[in-house]
A and B are shown apart, each in its own frame.
Chain A
Amino acid sequence: MSGGGTSSGKPQGAFAFAPSQPSPRYPRPSKHGDTVMLLLLRLPLALFAAALACSFAAPAQAQAPRDRVFVASYGTDTGNTTCSFEAPCRTFQNAVNNVAVGGEVTAIDSAGFGQISITQSVTITSPKGVEAGIVAPVGANTIDINGSNIIVVLRGLTLEGNGISGSGINFLSGGGELQIIGCKIHNFVDEGIVLQPDASSGTTSVLIKDTVISDNFIDGISLATRNYGTLQVALDEVIVNNNGIGIAVNTAPSAVELMVSNSHIDNNKTDGLSLQGGTGALATAVLKNVTINETTGMALKGYADVWLSQVTQTTAPGVNGGFGLTFSGSNNAAYSDGTNQLMGGYGGGASLQSWSSQ
């Protein structure tokens, strides 16, 4: 069924999302193919003959990139541009270099597959039962992502910093989306995940789910924006444990919205959640069913809003000496719906405002 919804007996029109209509986001498949055919038809015969002769030399030319490529412990990169299941590549980088835009890179077995630089849409998967890891050299990042409006999905990967590598994921793309699902990211000297989109090309969406981010020296997750774009981040079923700061949001120069649900931000060394905004660039976080167990649970450092529902912030005598919620700078606000437990109390004049339910 192509398009759908308009055959006899089906309801028609009347609704903006009727599948017979083009999506508001993606145009219909382009007509570039028709244009190419027309040009080919107009080629002089001699040119066509020359093209035909060249086509016989095809083995020397690279084939179109595959939609699906593979890496394996027994794979090889040398001269390998197909990365097929039968002849997989050895590194993620060679696979990423040779997969089609929007294609899939899958690990066949468990191994380390090397650091990756990503500049186009791609999905990299370590399926269950396979332990695909990445270790980077001293000071380097395991995964760098930088493109405009690209969609990158990372699933099931283990990123290990060994206490010497820079960051686990360094995301500098503008627009588009990053999904991190089922990953383990630990032990980096900088951050586990850096989200600093150059958002001049639009809103950037980030989804982090079912992932552990631990033991990173500076921040577990660092969020900021560049060039006045906006950043929307959703975390669900995420554990942020034993980092310097758990999640650090610094919104300058433009707004960041963070939504955290069903997650644990525990045992980080200073702040569990640090929110710092600026004039015209509010830092907003909504927390629902989250535990926070740090020296300072939530630190609002100016132009920051936090909305709390079913949040449990703990403080054990002799272990945690700080506060549940602190304010510094100006224009901070914390809202509570009466379902939260903030055991560490308040510092810096922090107080809660009512967040009414409907």
Chain B
Amino acid sequence: MPFRQLPALLAAAFVCSLAAAPALAQSRDRVFVASYGTDSGNTTCSFEHPCRTFQNAVNNVAAGGEVTAIDSAGFGQINITQSVTITSPPGVEAGVVAPAGADTVDISGSNLIVVLRGLTLEGNTTSNQGVNFSSGSGELQIIGCRIRNFAYNGILAIPSTGALSLVVKDTVLSDSGYGMTLFPGAGSTIKAALDEVTVNNNAYGIGTAANAAAVELLISNSHVDNNQNDGLIMLGGSTSLMSTAILNNVTFNETQTGIALTGYSLAWLSHVTATSAPGIGTGVSLAFSGSNNTAFSDGTNHLMGGYSNGVTLQPWGLQ
């Protein structure tokens, strides 16, 4: 190489490195959104220069990183395909509204860990789902959220590959078609734990469908009230595809049936209060349909609406 060309080459390399630098920047572990943020040309989403939408922040955060809202605003619908935590801290009201027929939060991918904290998801009766875990596997935590007014489901979990662990805590699911539906595809399973959850005034409270893969649902210290049809409706597929629910300290107060086992379903009840008021409720506390249903009770439950279709309770002994 002739030496006289070297300065020009060095200069060119320097210019190229300047131009390429933004594209080579590593994703940050912690990014931010704000009402005054901007997405255009913004791939850092730093606290000093936050993004405007959750989607742009999610696109630019490192896998497993954190997206935090700085102030109150609507931050737009989100499509999540990698592990991430999205937080609206106390004092901030970060909301998501989706167009009619869309979901506010879509999640898909294998072995993801997704945490949603403090968000308000509003469906305006026309959006489909609040949170849609639409394929894949991993863990989903929904903590301190308000999810309401969706045409179909507040939360829909339909994992397709491997196990999904779902935690819902300190959250209100209201005014939707279903407050929550668990519906694993073949080859998947769902283990769901709900604590301090209010499921109020949906068409149906919670639905579990294990006709393709097993579901285990644990609900504690929660209220499933004022839903227009069943508070909890369960369906399994066979003796190896059971829908199982364990309830501890839960109230059911519905217009129709409190807990409906519609085939291949198991319910274990402790400190459950299911009410049925004359002049209001026309249903029963516990109903069976289909075959292979069993309900176990430890003697601490009040099932005021009684039973239908020859339901009997099996003893659940204490040790």
Taking a contact as CB atoms under 8 Å apart, the answer to whether A24 and B177 are in contact is: yes
* 11 residue pairs bridging A and B, Cβ less than 8 Å apart: A9-B185, A10-B158, A11-B185, A24-B229, A67-B74, A179-B172, A232-B253, A232-B280, A236-B198, A255-B280, A286-B275
Taking a contact as CB atoms under 8 Å apart, the answer to whether B225 and A25 are in contact is: no
Taking a contact as CB atoms under 8 Å apart, the answer to whether B93 and A4 are in contact is: no
* Proximity bits, A280-301, B CB within 8 Å = 1, else 0: 1110101010000000000000
Taking a contact as CB atoms under 8 Å apart, the answer to whether A355 and B302 are in contact is: yes
Asked if A37 is an interface residue, CB under 8 A from chain B, the answer is no
Contacts of A1 on B, CB cut-off 8 Å?
103, 106, 108, 128-129, 132, 134-135, 158
Taking a contact as CB atoms under 8 Å apart, the answer to whether A23 and B93 are in contact is: no
Number of interface residues of A (CB under 8 A): 71
Contacts of B122 on A, CB cut-off 8 Å?
67, 102-104, 123
Asked if A86 is an interface residue, CB under 8 A from chain B, the answer is yes
- Given pairs A4-B183, A29-B151, A68-B74, 4 additional interface contacts (CB within 8 A): A17-B178, A151-B175, A255-B280, A282-B277
Contacts of B281 on A, CB cut-off 8 Å?
257
Taking a contact as CB atoms under 8 Å apart, the answer to whether A86 and B36 are in contact is: yes
Which residue of chain A lies nearest to B185 when distances are taken between CB atoms in the complex? A10
Q: Which of A73-81, A126-134, A186-194, A239-247 contacts B (4 or more CB under 8 A)?
A: A126-134
CA gap between A88 and B178 in the complex, in Å: 35
Contacts of A42 on B, CB cut-off 8 Å?
none
Q: Which residues of A contact B (CB under 8 A)?
A: 1-5, 9-11, 14-19, 22-26, 28-29, 67-68, 70, 85-86, 100-104, 106, 108, 123, 125, 127-130, 151, 153, 177, 179, 181, 203, 205, 207, 209, 230, 232, 234, 236, 254-257, 259, 261, 280-282, 284, 286, 288, 305, 307, 309, 337, 355, 357-358
Which residue of chain B lies nearest to A177 when distances are taken between CB atoms in the complex? B201
The one of B73, B126, B226, B278 that contacts A234, using a Cβ cutoff of 8 Å: B226
Taking a contact as CB atoms under 8 Å apart, the answer to whether A234 and B223 are in contact is: yes
Contacts of A232 on B, CB cut-off 8 Å?
225-226, 253, 255, 277, 280
Which residue of chain A lies nearest to B202 when distances are taken between CB atoms in the complex? A25
Q: Which of B2-10, B40-48, B57-65, B205-213 contacts A (4 or more CB under 8 A)?
A: B205-213
Cβ of B210 to closest chain A Cβ, rounded Å: 9
The 3 closest A-B pairs by CB, nearest first: A23-B177, A255-B279, A129-B91
Taking a contact as CB atoms under 8 Å apart, the answer to whether B209 and A207 are in contact is: no
The one of B97, B152, B301 that contacts A23, using a Cβ cutoff of 8 Å: B152
Contacts of A28 on B, CB cut-off 8 Å?
151
Taking a contact as CB atoms under 8 Å apart, the answer to whether A10 and B212 are in contact is: yes
CA gap between A357 and B262 in the complex, in Å: 24
Taking a contact as CB atoms under 8 Å apart, the answer to whether B253 and A207 are in contact is: no
Number of interface residues of B (CB under 8 A): 87
Interface of B is mostly: loop
The one of A19, A29, A67, A236 that contacts B101, using a Cβ cutoff of 8 Å: A29
Instruction: State whether A3 and B128 are in contact (beta carbons under 8 Å apart), knowing that A151-B175, A207-B225, A236-B223 are contacts in the complex.
Output: yes
CA gap between A207 and B179 in the complex, in Å: 15
Which residue of chain A lies nearest to B286 when distances are taken between CB atoms in the complex? A358
Asked if B304 is an interface residue, CB under 8 A from chain A, the answer is yes
Asked if B186 is an interface residue, CB under 8 A from chain A, the answer is yes
The one of A2, A3, A85, A207 that contacts B71, using a Cβ cutoff of 8 Å: A85
* Proximity bits, B88-103, A CB within 8 Å = 1, else 0: 0011110101001111
Contacts of A282 on B, CB cut-off 8 Å?
277-279
The one of A4, A14, A123, A234 that contacts B225, using a Cβ cutoff of 8 Å: A234
Contacts of B95 on A, CB cut-off 8 Å?
68, 104
Instruction: State whether A358 and B151 are in contact (beta carbons under 8 Å apart), knowing that A10-B212, A127-B72, A207-B225 are contacts in the complex.
Output: no
Which residue of chain B lies nearest to A232 when distances are taken between CB atoms in the complex? B226
Which residue of chain A lies nearest to B229 when distances are taken between CB atoms in the complex? A24
* Proximity bits, B45-84, A CB within 8 Å = 1, else 0: 0000000000000000000000000011110000000000
Which residue of chain B lies nearest to A230 when distances are taken between CB atoms in the complex? B280
CA gap between A236 and B250 in the complex, in Å: 12
Taking a contact as CB atoms under 8 Å apart, the answer to whether B278 and A284 are in contact is: yes
Taking a contact as CB atoms under 8 Å apart, the answer to whether A17 and B302 are in contact is: no
Taking a contact as CB atoms under 8 Å apart, the answer to whether B156 and A19 are in contact is: yes
Cβ of B49 to closest chain A Cβ, rounded Å: 17
Q: Which of B233-248 contact A (CB under 8 A)?
A: 233, 235, 237
Cβ of A211 to closest chain B Cβ, rounded Å: 13
Which residue of chain A lies nearest to B279 when distances are taken between CB atoms in the complex? A255
Taking a contact as CB atoms under 8 Å apart, the answer to whether B177 and A25 are in contact is: yes
Taking a contact as CB atoms under 8 Å apart, the answer to whether B226 and A29 are in contact is: no
The one of B148, B149, B223 that contacts A261, using a Cβ cutoff of 8 Å: B223
Instruction: State whether A67 and B151 are in contact (beta carbons under 8 Å apart), knowing that A17-B207, A26-B177 are contacts in the complex.
Output: no
Cβ of A55 to closest chain B Cβ, rounded Å: 22
The one of B209, B213, B275 that contacts A257, using a Cβ cutoff of 8 Å: B275
Asked if B203 is an interface residue, CB under 8 A from chain A, the answer is yes
* Proximity bits, B138-177, A CB within 8 Å = 1, else 0: 0000000010110111001010100000000000101111
The interface centre, meaning the residue of A1, A14, A261, A281 with most chain B CB atoms within 10 A of its CB, is A1
Instruction: State whether A29 and B100 are in contact (beta carbons under 8 Å apart), knowing that A123-B122, A259-B275, A284-B277 are contacts in the complex.
Output: yes
Cβ of B37 to closest chain A Cβ, rounded Å: 11
Which residue of chain B lies nearest to A127 when distances are taken between CB atoms in the complex? B93
Taking a contact as CB atoms under 8 Å apart, the answer to whether A337 and B302 are in contact is: yes
Taking a contact as CB atoms under 8 Å apart, the answer to whether B203 and A25 are in contact is: yes
* Proximity bits, B269-308, A CB within 8 Å = 1, else 0: 1000101011111000000000000000101111110000
